[in-house]
Structure 1
Amino acid sequence: MIQQIGNFDWMLKDLADGVPGIEQIVVLSADGLRIARYGGDPDAADRVAAACAGLQSLAGAVAGEIRRGGGAMRMVIIEIDTGYFYLMSAGANAYLAVLANLAAEPGLMSNRMRDLVARIGAHLTSPPRRNGQTV
């Protein structure tokens, strides 16, 4: 089931259909709010989105240290016992997260995620918010 804002449902489904092993896809804002999802339940998608906000912040800080004075987080991959977690920058203040089981092939996954972001990245922006309000 797909729930989201906008018309990304067929694109998220296309990603899931094109890569074996995908269990959940979440599109989120930089502050951890779910914008869209495919698979899984809404509560799980909200938890993933919230966790990703911290992870993208941490990855951005590390990227800044590596590049000394610049550099942005583009992709984080975490391998766990039962699968993989992918987090990719997808537009201004927006991210694409994918949870997949061991059937997923990491190279194929990252290529398909990049393709999806290239197609819809400009539409996956999330305006900055302050005190819960769009700035």
Structure 2
Amino acid sequence: MDWILKDLALSVPYVRHVIVLSSDGLRMAQYGTEPDTADRLAAACAGLQSLAAAVGQEFPHGDGSMRLVVIEVDGGYFYLMAAGSRAYLAVLADEGVDAGLVGQQMRDLVARIGEHLSTPPRNPEQVA
């Protein structure tokens, strides 16, 4: 999956990190970052998707599931997008990035490989 993440990173100037994670915050794949950084970001993403889902429950229509979270901070942007059943795509980009292009490329990537990004539910009985 790394080459697909690389394509996204290289097709949008200013993208720094691309991470695929499970809903429980485990890194599944990454591009442009060290494993420790990717693990920290994946764990933070799990919290963000949970918060977004809680806010989504306040809307009367739809199921309240999180589709996209965008955070702007000094120095750049963070994007978190649902990417399949219990899987998410995260992108960290520097200031100057084309926000619309990032969103479009993320949607295109999810549409192409979303079914491969899904993670099965964890069964506590299978844990050794």
Category of TM-score, reference length = shorter chain:
over 0.9
Aligned to 1:122: 115
Could you give the per-residue CA deviations for residues 23-61 of structure 1, whole angstroms, max 9, x where no partner exists?
Answer: 101100000000000011110000000111010011011
Q: Partner of 1:67: helix, strand, or coil?
A: coil
Q: Hey, which bits of structure 1, 4+ residues long, moved more than 6 A? A: none
Instruction: Give the Cα–Cα distance (whole angstroms) in 1 for the partners of residues 46 and 125 of structure 2.
Output: 15
Aligned to 2:63: 70
Aligned to 1:52: 45
Q: Partner of 1:24: helix, strand, or coil?
A: strand
Q: Which runs of 5+ in 2 are unaligned?
A: none
Question: Over the residues paired in the alignment, what is the CA RMSD in angstroms?
Answer: 1.6
8 Å CA contact 2:72–2:78 kept in 1: the answer is: yes
Aligned to 1:104: 97
Q: State the identity as a percent.
A: 61
Instruction: Give the Cα–Cα distance (whole angstroms) in 2 for the partners of residues 28 and 96 of structure 1.
Output: 7
Q: Matched residue pairs, number?
A: 127
Instruction: Give the Cα–Cα distance (whole angstroms) in 2 for the partners of residues 42 and 67 of structure 1.
Output: 39
Bigger mean CA offset, 62-71 vs 115-124: 62-71
Instruction: Give the Cα–Cα distance (whole angstroms) in 2 for the partners of residues 21 and 67 of structure 1.
Output: 37
Instruction: Give the Cα–Cα distance (whole angstroms) in 1 for the partners of residues 120 and 38 of structure 2.
Output: 20
Aligned to 1:5: none
Q: Which runs of 5+ in 1 are unaligned?
A: 1-7
- AA aligned opposite 1:119: R
Q: More strand by proportion, 1 or 2?
A: 1
Instruction: Give the Cα–Cα distance (whole angstroms) in 2 for the partners of residues 48 and 132 of structure 1.
Output: 28
